[in-house]
């Protein structure tokens, strides 16, 4: 089965911590992405870093949390599978699109003026012959999403913020 990859980048004036907090807080995604709505389907069953529960926006969205995003008739159920504070958020698609083994890794690299955001997704198509379409469709969507995140994080980090 053929694997597809999408790899998009953007640079934000926002700090890596600001970008990470926006990624972790699914409720912010409809603000800066093309997604219509967010629902936390299942909070994380695991305590946060060092066994201490976090507080604040997105605190219940640690490893194991299941998040549901809707846009029109499309639904995407995703589970957070890896968090590295200020550096990485990874998730897998549980249902919603006809894809197998979808995983996205969003890596954050601090730069002198902000943060480089790299959003990399890999998957296989469930229906033979449709992988090219989902690579094109999701590639456009993720490019728009990473640019929206970069811009929003830059504004959120600015003094006028």
Residue-wise pLDDT for 70-124, tens only, equals 999 989 999 999 999 999 999 999 999 999 999 999 999 999 999 999 999 999 9
Q: Rounded CA gap, 21 and 153, in Å?
A: 9
> Pick from 145, 147, 135, 151: which is nearest to 35 by CA?
145
Residue-wise pLDDT for 144-161, tens only, equals 999 999 999 999 876 654
The neighbouring-strand residues paired with 15 are none
Tell me what pLDDT residue 48 has: 55
What is the mean predicted confidence (pLDDT) over 120-129? Answer: 97
Tell me what pLDDT residue 11 has: 97
What is the mean predicted confidence (pLDDT) over 31-40? Answer: 95
Q: Rounded CA gap, 109 and 11, in Å?
A: 9
What is the mean predicted confidence (pLDDT) over 45-74? Answer: 72
Tell me what pLDDT residue 53 has: 43
Where does the pLDDT of residue 45 fall: very low under 50, low under 70, confident under 90, or very high at 90 and above? confident
């Amino acid at each position: 089965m053929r694997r597809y990859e999408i790899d998009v980048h953007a640079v934000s004036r926002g700090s890596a911590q600001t970008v990470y907090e926006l990624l972790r807080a699914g409720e912010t995604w409809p603000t800066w992405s093309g997604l219509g709505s967010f629902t936390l389907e299942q909070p994380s069953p695991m305590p946060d870093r060092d066994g201490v529960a976090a507080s604040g926006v997105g605190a219940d969205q640690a490893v194991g949390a299941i998040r549901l995003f809707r846009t029109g008739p499309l639904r995407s159920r995703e589970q957070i599978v890896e968090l590295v504070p200020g550096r990485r958020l990874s998730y897998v698609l549980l249902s919603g699109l006809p894809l197998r083994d979808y995983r996205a890794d969003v890596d954050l690299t601090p730069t002198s003026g902000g943060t480089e955001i790299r959003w990399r997704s890999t998957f296989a198509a469930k229906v033979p012959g449709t992988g090219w379409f989902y690579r094109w469709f999701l590639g456009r969507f993720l490019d728009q999403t990473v640019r929206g995140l970069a811009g929003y994080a830059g504004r959120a980090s600015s003094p006028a913020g």
